[in-house]
Structure 1
Amino acid sequence: MPYLHPKRTRLPLACLLCMLLLCVGVCQAQVQQPDSVQADTVRQSLNDRLIQNLKQMSERKTIMGKLLRALLDFDRNEEEVYGMDAELIRKEYEQHNFKVVRRIDILTLDPFGYSINDTSRVPSNFFEKAGNSLHVRTGRGQVRNKLLFRKMEPLEPLALIESERLLRQTRYIIDARIIVNEETTTNDSVDVFVITRDIFSLGGSGSYSPSSGRGRVTLRELNFLGQGHQIEGSYRFNLNRPRPWEVAGYYTVENIGRSYISADVAYVDKNYYKEKSVFLSRDFFSLNTKYAGAVGASWIDERILLPSAPEDTAARFGNVGYAQQDVWLGRAIKFKSYNLGYETRGRVILGARVINTNYTTIPTENFQSNALILGSMGYSTRKYYKDRYIFGFGRTEDIPVGTLFSVTGGYQDGTKWDRRYFGTSLAFARYGTNFGYLYSRVGYGSFLRDDRWEQGVLDVEAMYFTKLAEWGNWKLRHYLLGRSTLGINRYPEELLSINNESGVRGFRSDLVRGTRRASFNYEANLYTPLSLLGFRLATFLYADLAWLSTGNQSSPFKEKPYRSYGIGFRLRNEFLSFSTIQVTLGYYPQLPPNSSMQGFRLYESSAPFYNFRHFQFDRPGVAEFY
């Protein structure tokens, strides 16, 4: 799961959103039904009553009426979605396996006003047309490079549905459909139609605090000139110390020349974290991928938290600087299948990796320059289902299910000591339209030096979300997440926190640290039919609990848990590259010692708290402790 720092939204926007929510509650209490309302109207749904009340207020010749009429879209209907079978593997495609692809037609659509399910729909207002005029549509060559089938070649099993999934996972494409033209299909050949819809690739964000003068500006382009190049830069200003500014830049080129090799370049110059890195990588992007690997180098200087004494009133830090070279190679071996219409999804994967690390600055004697050689073997099965309103706001989402088991061994040749490494992990996930989604994982890894295990970690995780409950255009889903990370003979400077996505949302303290952590998170997410300037509105309730202990033998459950309860709302336009806008009001019954936090906290963020774990085999590595 990615761990991102919370981002502040602009104050006027937050005030406007709060005003909108207040209007929703007021209009339900003040607007009365006429005496002539029929009995069936009285029994109408909450959705109809709410929309009707807001629409009536928007028709008034008042400032609030004009504001609602300008911001809200009352005529928006839920789009009928084609091909939303629960299982992504559509059985009707199996009859076309190994037929020759005679023709491939590609249609790319602009982000606004078009429909991937109804190609006759076109933009209908000035704003949609103006937005499309500022957008450079994805080139058909970029779409063609993502396809796993080629013209005048036999159609391999799973090629159609895997290509559709890969297109949807591209950052600058929101949705894709691949359709076989049944009218022109023959016994030995097929014509294929590919439709994609873009995201408005140019975006950004920013924040500013009038009291301190501090601010942040971020600009990104996810699809430069329609060629798939991704550029992002951020700048922070008027910081206190030790320097008043920070800057970061990232550049990515995906799928160079149909090879599925990506190039990544990063330059980060922050006060307490500096990075320069360059990588070429290719992962197991598809079920049929045989080879994966990466090669790259990075130069990093950062500040890490050091262990504190009970009497400390401020956190202590140390500096770490190192250069690292990293190379790995993986090979997937599939089992033979004697059924030409069926492709086995099980794979045995072999991997090897070499990491060379040279430290230039160390805070303690537990850091040493070293060369780490790792080898791994694993077994993976995976497939995908399709659903909506999981982490998105209506777009098609691919749900990974399957099993992944791996064993890793290695040897570290260091300047001070040598040691061996052993690790293993097992994960599985299941999905059902009436059951929901269940994911579980357990992993262990540790070094062995002079018959003593050190820097070990036992990691357990389980996530579940329910099926989608629907009342008209209102949709509700529940999420449960449980995690436990137990450090075994960790070094003193290796510490866990429960800040934000690590355990308790909105929690922040440099003094609350430990070596063993357990957390439980619950969320109820209600998707509303309301739309604000194209941004869909969702509200949520949550409860977080986290236990943290120090020492390599103590149980975290012996300590009193830190808790948080809260309510908030999210706004997102799926067709824009902007992050989700989230405003949360949290309550914290137990405050950390010597902290400036208060019992109630109103904050903004864009960090996702839940995410899928894909069952593709990754590079061999050491079990993470964070």
Structure 2
Amino acid sequence: MFYMHAVGTVGAVHAGPDNTSPTRTGPAAGSLPPNAPEERLPSDEELAAGGAVIGEIVIRNENIFDISDPRENNWLFRLTNKLHARTRPWLIRNQLLFRTGDAYDRRVLDESERILRSNRYFYDARIRPIASHDGRVTVEVLTRDVWTLRPGFSFKRQGGANTTSIDFTELNLFGTGVGVSIARSSTPDRSSDSVHFDSAHIGGTRLRTELLFAENSDGRKRSALLERPFYALDTRWAAGGSFVDDVRVDTLFGRAGVAGQFQTDAKKRNAWGGWSQGLKGRWAKRFRIGFVQDESRFAPAPGTLPSDPVPPDRVLAYPWAGVEIVEDEFEKAKNRDQIERTEDFSLGTRFHASLGYSSDRFGADREAVVFGGLFGTSFQTTDSSILLVDSAADGRIEGGSMRDTTLGANGRLYLRLSDAWLLFSMLSGRRGVNLDQDHELVLGGENGLRGYPRRYQAGDRSALFTLEGRYYSSLYPFRLIRVGGAVFYDMGRAWGGGFVKSPDPGVLRNVGVGLRLGITRSGLGNVIHLDLAFPLDGDPTISKVQFLVTTKQSF
């Protein structure tokens, strides 16, 4: 059986009064409480076979804490609920793929659930029929909010380097789904003052927009996106446009640290449109066409260690066409990448390929074929394990030879040992062919080798293997944090064809232990990682232990 991997994460919802006022659409509401069907309902198959249609749609948006539960009925949780701006019912309704009068279809209800769960401002979502009379089905849509406001300070440490941020972030402004962030951050590469705005439902539509303005210590960044995506498997058309204007200092790394720097002025514009016949059986096929302008100009970085040589300028401009094929096959799981939260895994095959032609007729500085593609699948190896495999390729063909081409593949295995224990392993590899100087492959503490400094190795190929035992405890302190743990072994290497010549230490290994804290009531980072990693190789100048603090969307 072939599958493809895609992940979203959410957790279980408990319905309760909590001053909830159900919002109803469709015909006049009946006398039944939304959570209490008066009789046994027909099965989904029976409803569909009988030609049932959607009648009343009852929307129940629960607050952060369930005050009807004595364990959550305290002054702090009540105050939190009072201060929190609940998600607006119209925002929930506009994300549903069904309306009153539509034919009852469990597949459409399930896909609507997944769409709702993909929002970071929801803890979970559940959609189910609660009554059926005269061929009309009353459907309940139940969601639970999370806390989405973060005014304050954040800290992250990985690869021996710290990242700090003072910010004001709101993921669900006034319950409208709008995200805003004002931040001052400091990373190993730069400090930045930024403003970010995003919304996936402008004016109650399917239009998505994202804006970023950043003034950085080494330049600036401006970006904008406006699109109507393929938001569902049966979506018939999509279109969008984006631009990025990014001035920055890029760094080349050797084992001793920074080996060279150069200034990059990158501008990219992309406009596209797409169409589809929708979902046919188990498959959706989508076609896209578009035009890209991709310009990168380079200069010596002012006042810093120069790079010798500075990369040559690169200007690409090309029309392109692409095709995407998606299989409708999904499952819900728990305790894989999250702790006691519902996770959506796509088990269907996914394929995407695109091809473009860059020419001076379009304003480019070279003739090139620009290509990209990906393929994903999975294998249900046993009843207790699943293997997810993904591969990708992108690059250019210039003068009959590949340029700046990256080929990559990775596999992830989840093996369930018990309710509380899972064995996770991951193997990935990347191969670069005639990479541009600003696209070297690096490996270190920030991207998999947790026992080593960041960007400790560089080259035109890399490989990484991780073996991790994951423990999901039943601890739930203060009903705020789910507790888990991990023991791990990492082994990897980046080598060959680097732009900086330095001794090759070969394959690097580390072992480590970590604590995982699943933040159940906040949408601002789902899992806090606290890791101690111990390198087994490398030169004697590196630290004998790395302490890592990160916040991620997964275990």
How many angstroms apart in 2 are the aligned matches of 1:196 and 1:168?
Answer: 9
2:248 pairs with one of 272, 295, 302: 302
Moved more, 190-199 or 440-449: 440-449
After TM superposition, the structure 1 = structure 2 runs for residues 465-504 of structure 1, keeping only pairs within 5 Å, are 465-467=414-416, 469-470=418-419, 475-504=420-449
Identity, in percent, stands at 20
Query: In 2, are the aligned partners of 1:498 and 1:507 still within 8 Å (CA)?
Result: no
**Cα gap change, 1:273/1:253 in structure 2, threshold over 3 Å: closer, same or farther?**
same
SS in 2 for 1:529: coil
SS in 1 for 2:532: strand
Query: In 1, are the aligned partners of 2:508 and 2:537 still within 8 Å (CA)?
Result: yes
Q: Which residue in the other structure is 1:353 paired with?
A: 290
Q: Which residue in the other structure is 2:353 paired with?
A: 407
**CA offset at residue 362 of structure 1?**
4.6
How many angstroms apart in 2 are the aligned matches of 1:435 and 1:214?
Answer: 38
After TM superposition, the structure 1 = structure 2 runs for residues 43-442 of structure 1, keeping only pairs within 5 Å, are 92-97=43-48, 99-113=52-66, 123-155=72-104, 158-182=107-131, 184-187=132-135, 189-204=136-151, 206-207=153-154, 216-236=165-185, 246-272=192-218, 274-306=220-252, 314-334=258-278, 344-359=281-296, 361-362=298-299, 364-414=310-360, 415-431=364-380, 434-442=383-391
In the alignment of these two chains, the number of paired residues is 497
Query: In 1, are the aligned partners of 2:424 and 2:467 still within 8 Å (CA)?
Result: yes
1:454 pairs with one of 382, 390, 403: 403
Give deviations 1:47-83, integer Å, cap 9, x for gaps: xxxxxxxxxxxxxxxxxxxxxxxxxxxxxxx9999xx
Give deviations 1:587-617, integer Å, cap 9, x for gaps: 0122358x6x30112231113577xxxxxxx
Moved more, 199-208 or 444-453: 199-208
How many angstroms apart in 2 are the aligned matches of 1:514 and 1:225?
Answer: 47
**Cα gap change, 1:175/1:395 in structure 2, threshold over 3 Å: closer, same or farther?**
same
Query: In 1, are the aligned partners of 2:450 and 2:546 still within 8 Å (CA)?
Result: no
CA RMSD of aligned residues (A): 3.3
SS in 2 for 1:417: coil
**CA offset at residue 468 of structure 1?**
5.8
Query: In 1, are the aligned partners of 2:463 and 2:494 still within 8 Å (CA)?
Result: yes
Give deviations 1:156-182, integer Å, cap 9, x for gaps: 562211111111111111111111123
Query: In 2, are the aligned partners of 1:496 and 1:517 still within 8 Å (CA)?
Result: yes
SS in 2 for 1:196: strand
Query: In 2, are the aligned partners of 1:205 and 1:578 still within 8 Å (CA)?
Result: no
SS in 1 for 2:94: helix
Alignment of 1:541 with 2:490, yes or no, is: no
**CA offset at residue 497 of structure 1?**
0.8
**CA offset at residue 142 of structure 1?**
1.0
How many angstroms apart in 1 are the aligned matches of 2:140 and 2:554?
Answer: 36
**Cα gap change, 1:484/1:149 in structure 2, threshold over 3 Å: closer, same or farther?**
same
How many angstroms apart in 2 are the aligned matches of 1:132 and 1:213?
Answer: 34
Return 5+ residue gaps in structure 2 as ranges: 7-11, 16-40, 301-309, 499-503
**CA offset at residue 261 of structure 1?**
1.6
Query: In 2, are the aligned partners of 1:314 and 1:511 still within 8 Å (CA)?
Result: no
How many angstroms apart in 1 are the aligned matches of 2:406 and 2:13?
Answer: 47
Give deviations 1:413-460, integer Å, cap 9, x for gaps: 254321113444321124588232211123333422222222222211
Give deviations 1:62-114, integer Å, cap 9, x for gaps: xxxxxxxxxxxxxxxx9999xxxxxxxx9932443463322111111001126
**CA offset at residue 191 of structure 1?**
1.3
**Cα gap change, 1:575/1:528 in structure 2, threshold over 3 Å: closer, same or farther?**
same
How many angstroms apart in 2 are the aligned matches of 1:154 and 1:316?
Answer: 62
SS in 2 for 1:158: helix
Query: In 2, are the aligned partners of 1:591 and 1:598 still within 8 Å (CA)?
Result: no
Alignment of 1:585 with 2:532, yes or no, is: yes
Q: Which residue in the other structure is 1:574 paired with?
A: 520
SS in 2 for 1:315: strand
SS in 1 for 2:79: helix
Query: In 2, are the aligned partners of 1:281 and 1:294 still within 8 Å (CA)?
Result: yes
How many angstroms apart in 2 are the aligned matches of 1:417 and 1:165?
Answer: 44
**CA offset at residue 371 of structure 1?**
0.9
SS in 1 for 2:552: coil
Larger Rg: 1
Give deviations 1:257-280, integer Å, cap 9, x for gaps: 443221111122232463111111
Read off the aligned partner of 1:195 and give its amino acid letter. L
Query: In 1, are the aligned partners of 2:63 and 2:144 still within 8 Å (CA)?
Result: yes
Q: Which residue in the other structure is 1:624 paired with?
A: none
1:517 pairs with one of 462, 473, 479: 462
How many angstroms apart in 2 are the aligned matches of 1:532 and 1:459?
Answer: 41
Query: In 2, are the aligned partners of 1:459 and 1:486 still within 8 Å (CA)?
Result: yes
**Cα gap change, 1:203/1:604 in structure 2, threshold over 3 Å: closer, same or farther?**
same
